[in-house]
Structures are given as structure tokens and as C-alpha cells.
Amino acid sequence: MKIFCGGSNKPLAETIAASLGMQLSALELFVFPDGEKRVRVEENVVDEDCIVIQSTTTPVDQNYMELFFIIDALKRSGARKITAVVPYFGYQRQDHVFRDGEVVSLEVMIGFLESLKVDRVVTVDLHSIKIPELFHIPVTHLSALPVFADAMKRELKEDAVLVSPDMGGLRGISKLSELLGNLAWVSIVKKRNLETGEIKMTGIEGDTSKLKKRAIILDDMISSGKTIVQAAAFLKKMGVEECHVFATHAIFSKEAPYLLQHSIVDRVFVTDSVLVPEEKKFPKLTILSVADIIAKEL
């Protein structure tokens, strides 16, 4: 078996390889002056099982194209089997038509992967549990919940309640509750304007008497950070003293790091499914690794 990676998250790829007692295999990624990329496999992969690790976050399209090129190069070089490890699967929020005339972008990206004859996809915390059904190849859908549960047991479980920022997160919050000995949980009810993206918190689904000193918000990703900040403010108005956030994918677009650091959120925990550059790190941030849970599936 040989492990390759694109340029989107090399530190995670190196950690996964180390967990397997391996090193990353050599790959040449050359960028022409006009932005086009050329990929060349520098090792013999004939009849080898190959793993390609690439998160498809910002710049999403560039990272996807790099992934496609690496897969094609491996196929042309004689690889026997290819597993695409895509910790963050870009376009996953565009998994169906929200308004007439829209593209289903996620299906387009899945179609590209399948046309390249990828044998298996491994990913972490997709936006919807129904997304694997869109694939016609095997998909291993991993969860960061055990990683989060371990961190919560160490630091935050006492006098706490779990909170889903919307009704779509009920399945995850219920599973996390079980991992924490059936810790109490509630869900925030919100409305989103599909045209403007604006969100309004309207209430709590569940027993509000469960809201205790410490609220732990669970989400699959943080993009702009606005939903998290609004949810924290809403919870503090309900009497919660501390508000901590656990989210798998640190997309951190635009002003998210500044917004989170200067909000009433106490701490933000994310995973390394997405590489967080130094300029986007902030004092309240803690990064947990999903390398071991990925390595166990390879």
C-alpha cells in the first residue's frame, strides 16, 4: 500500500501515514504560470493499493481538480486499487435542489470521481446522512463524535447540556449524548432565508429546564461563524453561563476567526479535517485530530 496526498492538508496526511507506520509517497505537483497544474507520480505503483488524501476546501475547485489529476495519474501508472480519502467533501451542502433551476453540485463532483474509477471514498461528517446514497461506489462515512466525546469527558462534561444549532443535527447530538452517558440535550429552532442566508433563532426544541451552567453546541462545520455566534447569544439569554462549540470542519470563511474570538463563545473545538492556516488561528481555538479514526479504516 502507498499513500499520496494533494496540497490541501499535508499535515493531516502525514499524521495518518505515521499512524500506519508509513511515509507519504513521492508526487510532483507543478503549477504553470497560467495556473494549470501537472501531476506526476514519482514511484512505481504497478499493482499497488493506493490512497489519496485531499480535503476539498478553499480553494474548492482547485483542490478537487488536483485530486482528480492525482487519481488519473495513479490509474495511468498501473495502480491496482485507489481509495480517495476526502476528510472534508466540498459542495456537500449542495446535495439537492433548493430552488428551481439550481445545479446539484455535489452530484457533479461525485460523478467526476466515479468516472475516474475510484474504488472507495472515505470521508468525515457529511452534512447529511443521505449523501452516501448518491454514490455508486463504496463510501466509508466516519464520525468525529468519539474524538469530541473524549475531549468533553476530559474538560466539559460536568453540569453541561448538549445543544444542536438546528433540527438537522438531532441524530448527531443524540449519538454524542449516548457516548457521554446520556447527557441531556436540546435543539435550537431556527429559520433560514434561502435567498439571503439570514438566520433567525425562534425557540428551543426540548425541555428548557435542561439548560444548565454550560452549553456545548455541536455542528458539522463552521463557515462564516454567524450561526454559532447567534446560537451562543441566544443560549446566554436563556440563562446559560458558558458556551462551548464543537464542529468537525473548520471552513472559517471571511471574518469567522475574528467573529468567534470576539464573541461570547468561550471555546471553539474543531478537527484537522481542514487545514487551519496560522493566520486563521485564534486564542479560543483548539484543534483535535481525526487522523487515528481515518487510519483505522485504511
C-alpha cell of residue 250 = 473548520
Measured from the Cβ of residue 115, the count of other Cβ atoms closer than 10 Å reads 10
Rounded distance between C-alpha atoms, residue 8 and residue 62, angstroms: 9
What CA–CA distances, in Å, run from 188 to 167, 185, 248? 7, 10, 19
How many alpha carbons lie under 13 Å from residue 41 in its C-beta half-sphere? 23
Measured from the Cβ of residue 4, the count of other Cβ atoms closer than 10 Å reads 27
Rounded distance between C-alpha atoms, residue 253 and residue 257, angstroms: 8
Amino acid at 191: K
CB 45 within 8 A of CB 78: yes
**Which residues are identified as catalytic?**
191
